[in-house]
Structures are given as structure tokens and as C-alpha cells.
Structure 1
């Protein structure tokens, strides 16, 4: 029997408020609370709660044969706790069924894997700890920000103990080979790879409500019939997408909720397919080949590369200057600095600076608070300038305190030596 792995990414960034030049050094709060709460409440109502309700209903209706997988970023979990704790409760209900797997990723939905392995590992560890605390699962499979992957990244993920990883089934990587098999890392073959079937995934995520699409409307019967056309030897279909597809990217009026509601039974009734989680898949199937990915890929845009985040000089400068502060941030170890450090690393800040609007404008404008990439860059750099001032002040204060502590230690040592000398002098006199 063949498998279908249904996976959703859950993430919303903390958007920055309009931070002007004259705020630098004067105002250290960076976030647009009104916008963040408004967007969160909108998506909670239109996507997260109704979609979770359907998933829970279908798991029960199909006697635990329907399974689904999530990766939920630390940034969005922080917002759930602040603005919509009922969403965390609904995910806990799903976790309690035993039919939902939660994956590991970077806490901040960051690009740390591209820059600093220590930071990367620290964020993954913090995220896994949070998932364990909330949902009682220790993640076994890893999903990097935006499915970003390379041979080297895979090797580093394997070194953290993960047995599997999700990534994009990019055509320029697989060539004639199908996404519908398990593959493995080129450096450490013990890491198994689940490759996204981008055609079937994007049929739902991007084309579902497109009335100009020659396959519109997409029904569950039609979708299952496409799956039935796969080669008999193929083993697993990986349907990966943003959770906001359900009710937000594809509105309720499009019929997306009905599609989600009907999909489990439509798949299971064929008797040809079963739903599986990534952990189950890597146990059941063996890789058919090594996936050679020397250059980094992602699931973004037509290019499936990093150009959405690091494709122009604005993004490169912002990314470089942010990461240059890491050593000082670690040395200070201040809870307020650490919190802002995490939130400023979210890849979304660099995504908003993307200049590829001609081919991918609709994607890059989703909940984008800026009028242009240049506005995004200026605003972020103003925030970063203030953040650096705070870091430098705390660093100087800590170094000053360290010098003062050292002087005190030396004074204490001198005093101790004086006592020892006096004691020895007395002993000599007595002799």
C-alpha cells in the first residue's frame, strides 16, 4: 500500500512597527502589536481553529487512520500564547490523538543554517524543547525554514540526531527521478529525505481557487484520480504546504474546507493509500538513491533557491550586519536582548526586502507591512542600529564590571598576601 504524507507549516512573524531614524537610541520597542494581534486574530478565525476542528473530526471519523504533520515555529507559538491561547489548546487536542507528528525546526524561523552552526543548533534545541513542553513529543524529524536544504545542512542536521528531514523535490536536483520515493543525504546517508511533490502540493496551495486554471474546480475525486496515476513502484506522495492555505490563501468561499473535510475518506476508500507521518515513513521505506544537493535549495518561487531572502545587496547587508552581533549578544546574555535577537532573525524580515516583484509579486506581498523592499530595508536597519547601541552599552557595562571585579579580586589577593607575610614574620621572630 502506498503512503501519503500530509504536512503543514505554521508560522507568522512578529512584524516591526514603523521605526524611524529619530527613534534610534530613544525607543527600544520594535514591534507593531496592533498589526500583529489583528493579523493573528484574523488567521485564527479563518484558518487555525476551523482547520484544526476539521482535522480532529476526521481523525476520529476515520478511526485514527488519518494522520497529519506540523512544524510550528517558536515565534508563532509565542504569539499564540499572547493573543490566542485557544489555538495551542486545539493543537494539544490533535497531539492527544496520537495521529499528529510535530517536527523540529529553528525557533525563530531563521536562516541560521546558512551562517552559524552554533546558532543553528541552539535554535533547534530551543524549539524542540518547546514542542516537548507543549505537546509531549520530542521531534525526531527536522524541517528547516522554508525547506532550505543542502548536502552540508543535511549533514549538520544528522549530527544533531535527527533521522529524517523534509525538503523540496526540486526538478533541477532530481532530474528525471520522482519525488515519490525516499532519498538520503549525500554526506551522511543515515539521514533520510522526504521530497515535496510540488505539483500536487501547489495544485492545492496556489491553484485551488484559480478559475482560469484548466483543472478548476479541484475536487477530492479529481485529486485522488491524479494520485492513482502514479507509477506502481512509487511509494509515498509528500503533500507539503503552508497551513494558512486552508482558509487564508484559499478562502472559505473557494470550497477549501470542504476539500480538506472530504480528503481523508476519499484517499482511504481507495484502499490503495494510507496516511503516514514522516517518522513512520523513514521507518517503513528505504532510500532509493542519494540526493546530491551541493547548492542550497528551498521551496520558494520558481527558482527554488535562496533569492527570496538573500538575492540582493539590501538583504545581504542586513543579514551580514545582524549576524555580526552574535558574539556580543552571547557574551551579554541579557534576556531582553536575547528575545529581540531571536525575533530579528526571522527570515520574513529579509523576505520583505525581496525585489523579485515582477514574477512573484503576489507571494511576496502577503501580509507585507511595507510599500517597497527599500522601506523594509530602511526600517529594519533603523531597528538594528538601535539594537546595536543597546548591545554595545551592555557590553561596555559588563566589561567595566569585569574590570572592577578583577581589581577587587586583586585587592583581596594582596590583602591575603599581607596576612600571610605577617604570619611568617611572627613565626620567624618566635624561632
Structure 2
């Protein structure tokens, strides 16, 4: 029996408006509301709503045999609430079937795991709370932003109590081994690792509509045959962006017909079953440890961090952002804290990528800026304004703290004076009493 784990990532960043140097210090609102609403409604119409409806129908038809998994970022859920509440309702309807698992991730879809453990833990907890609030189930499996994983990150995830985590089946960490098995962490043996089969995943996510692809057109029967040919596998993990359906691969490519018929063809063989990460972790035993000294991700041929932190612009922006952590930890201003969350989205750093050749097409597709340099300048202008606001708040807090301390000291001295005055009154009364007593 071939086990399939079908997982979808759902994420939309809050895109930034064009922010000029002269706006610094004058304009503290950073977001392009029109673009954000337009894009979300477009993706909702093309992808989220029709795909959710299709999956709901499949789940009901297959009566417990078809299961899927989602990871929905906190900032995506915020946009659903703002611009398309019907999308959130449709995800809740999927959750009510009991055939859908929702994963934990960072609330802001951020790269914070590379920088600060406390902020990482805070974001993961906030996201888990949000998932439980909206879908009634607290996540038990973790998926880090961009599938980024390392031994160190695995330790943090395990220390938070998670027993299973998803990551990339990067060839350079597997060597001769297959991604189609359950592994465990090198230093955290209690943490099970599910690895993406990027070849079979990308056949749908990236190559499906490519008429120059040697395997085009990809039919459900052909794809099921490929799955069955991997008869020595424990589990085949098909991980992809949810926007694959109707957005990255448009409706005219036949992607919805593929999704509609693929599970039916697979289950018809009686040799394939669909399951969730939690079920896999309970049923299967890891075959070996996975040693990942340097972080891996899903992106590009290298499967490393260079898509987000590969050049000096990205590193400068990333380091400047997180240099504010000490101030943020002492901040209670809700507007600044909200901006802090939204400015951490990994997308902002992805837009600054300067890779070209084969990887460049992917980066160009996702990038709303005409160049990575414009993305960098725009982000840094905003970050400079954010820095000024933090500094101003810190000065105000210092002044407030000074005044509060001064008031405390004055209050203490006033109480001391009252005590002395009371003692003097008692002394005067005793003095008068004694004088009167002696006269008598």
C-alpha cells in the first residue's frame, strides 16, 4: 500500500506601498491596501474558493479515504478576515469534515528561526492560538517558513513540544537516500521529519502547464502510475503552494480536472491511501537520523537560504530589522508591534533576490517590483521610518520612566514629611500636656 501525504501552503503577504525617502518621518502607514485587496480577491476567485469547494466535494465523496493538510500563515488569515471572509468560512467547512489537518508555523511567515529563539517561540505560539481559535484544533505538527530546517531549528521545534516537522528532501543532505521515508532529527531523535518529494511535487506545481515539458500533458492516470512505481517507499510527500490551483497553473491548463480526478484514480487502484502528517508520525517508524548542519529550504537548485539572504542587500535589511529586537521586547505600542509582525514576512527579502538563469524565472514571477534594487530601497525607506518611531518611543519611555521615578521619589518624600509632621504634632501635644500638668 502506497501512502500519500498531500499538503498545501497558503500564504499572502501584506504588500508594501511605494515609499519614498521624503516619506520617512512623515508617513507611518506602509501598506498598499488596494493592491492587497485586489490580489487577495483575485486569488480567492481563481484558487481558494473553487479549490476548497472541489476538495470538500472530494472528501465527502470518498467518505474518509481522502485526507489533506494545510498550513495557513497568520498574515493570510488576517487578510481573509479583512477582504474575503467567505474564504475563511470555506476553510472552516473543510475543517469540520475531520479529514483535514492544519499545521503550525510562524505567524508572520518569517525567517525569525534563523535569528532569535524567543521571538520564534512567540510567533509559533501566536499562530497555534490563531489556528485553534478559527478551526477548533490546536496544531500538533510544525512546518517552518519556506520549509527551512537545520539541526538547531529542529531542537527549538522539539523543545516546544512538536513531535513532527515538514522540510525539504534536499539531495545534498540525503546523498543516496530517498525522501520517501520518515526520518528523525540528528540531535532530537523524538522529532520525526517528513521530507518533500520535490520532483513529484514540482511536476504539478511548476511543470503541469508547460507544453514544452516532455511529459505534457500530465493525466491523473499517468501520475498515479508514477506513484505506484515507487513501491519501496514508506510515504510520498507531495508539498506545494495552494495557489498552484487556478493561479500559478491557470484553469485553462486543466489543473482543476487533474485535481478532481487524481484522488479518484489513486483510490480506485486500492494500492494508494491518503493520510496526514500526524497519522504518518503515529503509524511509521523513522528509518534513520537526518543531519542538517546548515539550513535547507525548498527554493532553487541549491535548496538553501540564498533566495532570501544570498546578497548584501538582503543581509543588510534582515540584520537591520532584527537589530530592533531589544527595543521591541520593551515595546507595548500596538501599531508598532503590528508593523513589526508584517515587516518580518519572508516575501520582502525574496523580492530582493538577484538570482538569474533557471532560478530567475521563479523569482521574477513572484516579484511585484521591477528590480530587486527597488525592492531593497523601498523596504529600507520603510525600515528607517520604523526605526525612527521606535527611537522616539524609546525616548518617550525613558522620559516617562524618569518622570515616574521622580513622582515615586516625591511621593515617598511627601509621605515621609507627613510622618514627621504627625510625629511633631504628637510631640507638641505631649509638650502642652506636660506643661499643663506641671502648672496644676
TM-score band w.r.t. shorter chain:
over 0.9
Say whether residues 1:257 and 2:251 are aligned partners. Answer: no
Shift of 1:273: 1.5
Shift of 1:367: 4.0
Compute the displacement of 1:280 (Å). 0.6
Residue 20 (structure 2) pairs with residue 13 (structure 1)? no
Alignment-derived partner of residue 87 in structure 2: 87
> 1:281 Cα deviation (Å)?
0.6
Pairing 1:161–2:161 present: yes
Contact 1:102 1:139 in 2 (8 A): yes
Larger Cα-atom Rg: 2
Deviations 1:151-173 (A, max 9, x none): 11011001011110000001111
Q: Which residue of 2 aligns with 1:315?
A: 314
SS in 2 for 1:9: strand
- 1:154 match: secondary structure: helix
Give a deviation string over 1:112-155, Cα, whole Å, max 9, x none.
Answer: 00001111111101111100000011000000000000011011
- Counterparts of 1:22-33 in structure 2, within 5 Å, are 22-33=22-33
Where does the alignment leave 5 or more consecutive residues of structure 1 unmatched?
A: none
1:295-314 matched pairs, under 5 angstroms: 295-314=294-313
Cα displacement (A) at 1:415? 1.1
Q: Structure 1: how far apart are the matches of 2:50 and 2:414? A: 71
Q: What do residues 184-212 of structure 1 show as CA deviations (whole Å, max 9, x unaligned)?
A: 01111101000001111011111111111
Using the TM superposition, give the Cα deviation of residue 316 of structure 1 relative to its aligned residue in structure 2, in angstroms. Answer: 0.4
Deviations for 1:82-118, whole angstroms, at most 9, x for unmatched residues?
A: 1110000000000000000000000110000000111
Q: Which position in structure 2 is the counterpart of 1:377?
A: 376
State whether structure 2 residue 408 is matched by structure 1 residue 409: yes
- Asked if the contact 1:154/1:185 (under 8 Å) is kept, the reply is yes
Helix, strand or coil at the partner of 1:250 = coil
Give the deviation of 1:337 after TM superposition.
Answer: 0.4
Give, in whole Å, the separation in 2 of the partners of 1:271 and 1:181.
Answer: 21
Preserved CA contact (<8 Å) 2:208 2:216: yes
Q: Could you report, residue by residue, the CA deviation over 1:312-351 in whole angstroms, capped at 9, with x for unpaired residues?
A: 0000000000101122122121110011000000000000
- In 2, the alpha carbon distance for the partners of 1:14 and 1:41 equals 13
Counterpart in 1 of 2:178? 178
The 10-residue stretch of structure 1 (81-90 or 325-334) with the greater mean CA deviation from structure 2: 325-334
Pairing 1:204-353 to 2, within 5 Å after superposition = 204-232=204-232, 234-353=233-352
CA contact (8 A) 1:64 1:97 kept: no
Q: Which runs of 4+ in 1 moved over 6 A?
A: none
**CA–CA distance in structure 1, aligned partners of residues 137 and 356 of structure 2:** 40
Deviation at 1:2, TM superposition (A): 2.8
1:131 and 2:131 aligned: yes
Task: Provide the rounded CA distance (Å) in 2 between the counterparts of 1:218 and 1:151.
Answer: 37
**d(CA) in 2 for partners of 1:303, 1:52:** 33
Partner of 1:145: 145
CA distance in 1, matches of 2:351, 2:203: 25
User: Normalising by structure 1, what TM-score?
Assistant: 0.98
What's the offset of the Cα at 1:428?
Answer: 5.6
CA distance in 1, matches of 2:195, 2:368: 32
Say if 2:101 and 2:276, in contact at 8 Å, map to a contact too.
yes
CA–CA distance in structure 1, aligned partners of residues 337 and 13 of structure 2: 17
Contact 2:2 2:231 in 1 (8 A): no
> Residues of 2 paired with 1:320 and 1:333: CA distance?
22
Secondary structure of 1:332's match? coil
How far 1:395 moved relative to its partner? 1.3
How many aligned positions are there?
430
Calculate the aligned-residue CA RMSD, in Å: 1.1
Aligned-partner Cα distance in 1 for 2:2–2:155? 28
**Does structure 1 retain, via aligned residues, the 8 Å contact 2:2–2:228?**
no
